[in-house]
Amino acid sequence: MLEINTMIYSAFVVSDSKMAHVNKQMGRAEQAKINSLNLMENLAEVEYIMSDKTGTMTKNELTLVALCCDADSYFLKGKCFRQDEKGDIVGTEACCGSYVVDKTDFLKCLKLCHDCSLLTLPMADGKTKDVLTGASLDEQCLLKSIQDEKVAEFIFKSSKEIKIRIGQQTLDYDFIFMNEFSSERKLMSVIVRDRQDGKIYVYAKGAENKIMERLSPESAESELKDEVNAQVLNFGS
């Protein structure tokens, strides 16, 4: 009898229009799903909901509003800020794409060093759509924001190959190895071979202090490190 009641209650949850949501990627409305008959009993015992991320309580929608790729300029909320000849910070109207369009190494690192993949999904109208998937919403946001600006594109990825586009140029790489992000390392890195010149490259991203630890002795003692540290503090505040 208890199982029958649980199935009836589950039917009410599935058919409740207030518990439906719009799947923007698929272009359709989706109802709540009951994967376990124990859900009704567990749900009745919930008294507090505790979350460590704001996205859990909102729409899980991230937006790229600020970006810094060098020590003397940065992009923030529709403006590009640079130092003039007097050393003053001057802001001009600009889009994110115009800020990063000439920063080739940054775009390569962004499009190569990640654990996202492209998933082809059927749409409601019978067509298909490539959707970015991955464990990190931050990476998805970065990839999609730059891709929407038409300056770089993540095209394809497999266990042996990665294909990207920078500007109008399509670049093919042999995928060699990836060191995934971990809380201990606080960074991730990918090793690839450029099929055009045959050279092997390592691209890494992560916490700035962990990247600084891996600088060459010449770079670690240069003024550039102090400039970058100052910019990180200024940009973060």
Q: Are 18 and 52 in contact (CB under 8 A)?
A: no
Query: pLDDT, tens digit, for every residue of 56-109?
Result: 455 666 788 888 777 667 787 778 877 777 766 677 887 888 888 888 999 999
Partners of 76 in beta bridges: 66, 79
Alpha helices in the chain (DSSP H): 2-15, 39-44, 54-57, 96-100, 104-112, 137-148, 208-212, 217-220, 223-236
* Nearest partner of 64 among 142, 151, 139, 134, judged by Cα: 142
Query: pLDDT, tens digit, for every residue of 201-221?
Result: 999 998 888 888 888 888 878
Task: Report the amino acid identity of residue 16.
Answer: D
Cβ neighbours around 158 below 10 Å, total: 9
- Quote the tokens at residue 85: 């000849």
Q: Are 189 and 203 in contact (CB under 8 A)?
A: yes
Residues 48-56 have a mean pLDDT of 65
Each as own residue / partner, the long-range contacts of residues 50-55 (CB below 8 Å, 24 or more positions apart, any chain) are 55/137
Rounded CA separation 137/59 (Å): 12
Read off the pLDDT band of 43 (50, 70, 90). Answer: confident
- Quote the tokens at residue 39: 């859900």
Average pLDDT value over all residues in the chain: 81
H or E stretch including 130? strand 128-133
Task: Report the amino acid identity of residue 206.
Answer: G
Read off the pLDDT band of 27 (50, 70, 90). Answer: low
Q: Are 107 and 166 in contact (CB under 8 A)?
A: yes
Q: Are 66 and 235 in contact (CB under 8 A)?
A: yes
Helices (H) and strands (E) in the chain, counts: 9, 13
**Which residues lie closer than 8 Å to 108 by C-beta, 6 or more apart?**
164, 166, 171, 203
- Asked whether residue 45 carries a pLDDT value surpassing 90, the answer given is no
Using DSSP's 3-state secondary structure scheme, residue 59 falls into coil
